[in-house]
Structure 1
Amino acid sequence: MRLYQLFMLLVFWTAEAQTTAILDAENKQAIPYATVVFKKEGKPVDGFYTSENGILELPSSEYDTAEISSLGYENKSVARHDIKAQLYLKPKAIELAEVIVSSAKDTLIGEYNFKKAKSQPIGTGHQLAVFIDNPAGRDVPLKALWLKLAKIKYTTVVRIYLCERKDYVQEYIEAGGETGSYESYIPAEALTAQNIITELKPENGNDAKIDLAKYELVLPKDGAFIVMEIIGHYNTLNQNVVKPAVKDITAIEVHKAVNDNYCQRLGITNLFWVNTNRWLRNDYEYMGSKPPRNTFVTPTMGVVIGI
């Protein structure tokens, strides 16, 4: 009887995978920090990143599909009963701007040398995007990202990528059921094929300077959104701190906004970008009230380009 019970337990354990590895369909290499959103009847219920070795621990929550994505790969949707020990993503052809070799002087642009207004925590799954205008009027090499942190306790793993700008008209429902609208813009298609992962470390201080030269990125002549996605917080033992206390979450420095160039997605299951300041500005205009001081802010961020 005991042998039978053990056998049935093993059958139950292996009937549904407890973990899965996300791999490149061509070279069979692990895809680190791929994004997996679990859905039930089309609505997100949970979301996680794979580990640096491409391993994902499947949740116990109720879901019927898993949607997997990573920069440079085609998205994949898998039914729960089809999830196996290994899942493969197919590399996607992305036409990138031609790399420019330049010996010109490095130039810092963006909004880096601004007075601090307040700080903003950046939890796991948070994505923030700042649109950077290109003063050169032509494609130029993008060499580094500079970011001011307000505080950092844990090593914070982040993903960096570039996106095109999408102009659109945001509609909303006014009192009485009437529809209003305003012009806005948000990140669109990714301009980056590489999975650029880096670490913000406490020992490096609050001035975070991320070297991007080896990735041979290009800032388009029309500018681009620089996106930073928070993958997770890790302690000194390299253990993932899944739910750090609010006071221990890494925070960025923000300053008074000079335009509406700041967009956010606030969680891994949040599928939509919001132009933060444009949205808030519209709300206060609609209510006819004066916004509190430092309501409209932008991350203190700049990029180094070769002009």
Structure 2
Amino acid sequence: MSFCLSFPTTGNPAEVLEVVERPLLPLTGHEIRVHMRYAPVNPADLNFIEGNYGRAAHPPAIPGHEGCGEIMAIGPDVTSLEVGDLVIPLLGAGCWAQHMTADEQFFAKLPPGIDRVQASMLRVNPVTAWHLLKKHVSLEEGEWVMQNAGNSGVGRALIQVAKSLGIKTVSFVRREELIPELKALGADAVFLDDENGFAAAKELLQGHELKLAANAVGGDSAIRLMDLLSPEGTLVTYGAMSRRSLKVPNKFLIFKNLHLEGLWITRWFEKASTAELYEVLEPLVKMILHGELVTAVDEVIPMAEHRRAMQRAQEGGRAGKVILDLA
């Protein structure tokens, strides 16, 4: 038998989640069984449980968009993985469980020496950051990229990945105490996400071409990013933390011909080939192994204390991600 977290109906994660016992069935064909070890609590996970995610939940359901664990058993036809391999699921659902069972194609093998907590957070935020920097516009070493929500999981990953690529970053944040923290992480410039911060960034960036801005907030924050972008620049929206719609002043389309794109990394995973997946995962894995990509952790909480974990994940002022210990 095995235990998982499941919700019988959508609602407040701290109230509707429950520990459920389920049987482990014999493996067939290309199936593998993974003993899951750690899984982070992401905003997307909370939205999924609440019923506010881009894909509808169909309770009872097991949440969890990412995690990591070791293979404990394989089916008779498995060829690419072995018992004992450390893997991350590529399914994008069902990771909040002690055991996951799926075909071998839905898992990516990682080197055994990688930190398991960091590996559990590889699939969503670092991959989103890599995609933002590599798949929308062509950025050369020494060029600048802008983002709001610089202290978010994606924002911190983008700062570190950009630094490894020689790309300079301007990040906007809501709290002044975050500025030295992000600079220590490798950010080239950090400003408050208000009119004063906008003015300071405009002065710093004067004379530089600004091709790309990553938007996770919307509302006035996104308008400021569009104002800073150069003509023909691209705004990629991957989140809506302010819960305010993206409103585009006509002048940005008429006189600057800005390009507006969206990114939902879950959809990209569904469409990406194996070669495309490893093109992204391999450099990020190397960065984690070398300590060049580190995701901050607030607390590791046992699955049995899931209510406290959900409450903590919904609080502001955390020092990083809340991680579920699934063992």
TM bin (shorter chain) = under 0.3
Higher relative contact order (CA closer than 8 Å, sequence separation 6+): 1
- TM-score, reference length from structure 1: 0.28
Higher strand share: 1
- TM-score, reference length from structure 2: 0.27
Higher helix share: 2
